[in-house]
């Protein structure tokens, strides 16, 4: 097993990529702390992990709220004694009622909220999670940014800024905490078939038109990302830190 007895916090694990990672990491022997702000989704993931013979608990968390993140870290440590893997996956995008528009048309409140959920969350989990990792000798932090951090687009400017911030902060944390045996890496997914992009993709699917055509000629699946995260979570990647993994079917290579 690639993650035998490791303790993994996965935020946004109630859906999409986070849920796929929870199920895969548990199959590989990790004990999972499922974090999501939607209890019904988080509990469902716990049930799925357990029905596969795995171990998981749910902690309701709004990752943009300091008190919630502190409770998440404390619960993980109180329950399992340590944190080996911190996977910052929660985020909001096109399925959110928050504006995914350009800067001119993005209300200030929506800008702040998107940055808070997608970027402040990473600061909070790092602020309260890293001391625990230092205490127990190290760990692996995985941050989900987006190809929006690598290429410009005409929309979703707050989202783009947040994801760019995640890539930059991942590198800085890798440099700062590498000597304490903490690795920090980023995944930049392309279009992945999850509820997040359904509002954009579903109408296209109905009309038979492709979305963001990549050389691989399909949308990514949550498992495509989960397998990348599994490598970064495992000791197989022990010499990998400060790196950005683009998993996009070749979209940005075009
Ligand atoms: N789907 C894509 O095409 C795509 C592309 C690039 C990057 N991403 C990123 O991948 C990550 C996972 O997204 P997904 O595609 O699985 O989408 P998803 O909508 O299926 O899952 C996101 C999960 O995050 C949770 N969440 C949202 N806000 C939260 C908050 N404040 N606190 C706690 N949980 C919260 C949601 O409840 C949901 O369970 C996100 O960070 C997203 O920005 C997605």
CA distance linking residue 55 with residue 182, whole number of Å: 24
CATH fold for the domain made of 7-194+221-246: Rossmann fold (3.40.50)
pLDDT digits (tens, 9 = 90+) for 103-148: 999 999 999 999 999 999 999 999 999 999 999 999 999 999 999 9
Residue 159 pLDDT grade (very low, low, confident, very high; cuts 50, 70, 90): very high
pLDDT digits (tens, 9 = 90+) for 189-232: 999 999 999 999 999 988 888 888 999 999 999 999 999 999 99
DSSP E strands in the chain: the ranges are 7-11, 31-36, 55-60, 85-88, 139-144, 182-189, 244-247
Compute the average pLDDT of residues 145-161.
Answer: 95
Sketch the domain layout of the chain as residue ranges.
Answer: 7-194+221-246
Q: How far is the CA of 57 from the centre of ligand 1 (A)?
A: 19
* Whole-number pLDDT of residue 224: 98
CA distance linking residue 8 with residue 31, whole number of Å: 6
Ligand 1 atom at minimum distance from 144 CA: 41
Please say if the pLDDT value at position 32 is more than 90: yes
Please say if the pLDDT value at position 153 is more than 90: no
> Which residue minimizes the CA distance to atom 40 of ligand 1?
91
159 is catalytic: yes
Angle made by CA atoms 96, 23, 128, in degrees to the nearest 5: 65
Global pTM?
0.98
Residue 3 pLDDT grade (very low, low, confident, very high; cuts 50, 70, 90): very high
Q: How far is the CA of 94 from the centre of ligand 1 (A)?
A: 10
The residue annotated as part of the active site, out of 123, 159, 231, 251, is 159
Compute the average pLDDT of residues 21-28.
Answer: 98
> Which residue minimizes the CA distance to atom 43 of ligand 1?
91
* Whole-number pLDDT of residue 75: 98
Q: How far is the CA of 115 from the centre of ligand 1 (A)?
A: 13
């Amino acid at each position: 097993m690639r993650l035998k007895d490791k303790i993994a916090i996965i935020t946004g694990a109630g859906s999409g990529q986070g849920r796929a990672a929870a199920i895969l990491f548990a199959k590989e022997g990790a004990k999972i702390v499922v974090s999501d702000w939607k209890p019904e989704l988080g509990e469902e993931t716990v049930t799925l992990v357990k029905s596969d013979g795995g171990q998981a608990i749910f902690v309701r968390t709004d990752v943009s709220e300091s008190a919630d993140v502190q409770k998440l870290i404390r619960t993980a440590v109180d329950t399992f004694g340590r944190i080996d893997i911190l996977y910052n996956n929660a985020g909001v995008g096109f399925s959110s009622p928050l504006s995914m528009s350009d800067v001119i048309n993005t209300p200030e409140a929506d800008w702040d909220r998107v940055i808070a959920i997608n970027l402040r969350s990473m600061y909070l989990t790092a602020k309260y999670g890293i001391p625990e990792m230092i205490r127990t000798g190290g760990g692996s932090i995985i941050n989900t940014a987006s190809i929006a951090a690598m290429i410009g687009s005409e929309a979703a400017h707050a989202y783009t800024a947040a994801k760019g911030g995640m890539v930059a902060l991942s590198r800085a944390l890798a440099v700062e905490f590498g000597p304490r045996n903490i690795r920090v890496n980023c995944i930049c997914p392309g279009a992945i078939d999850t509820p997040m992009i359904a509002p954009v993709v579903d109408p296209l699917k109905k009309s038979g038109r492709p979305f963001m055509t990549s050389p691989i000629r399909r949308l990514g699946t949550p498992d495509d990302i989960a397998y990348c995260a599994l490598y970064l979570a495992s000791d197989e990647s022990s010499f990998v830190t400060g790196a950005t993994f683009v998993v996009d079917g070749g979209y940005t290579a075009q």
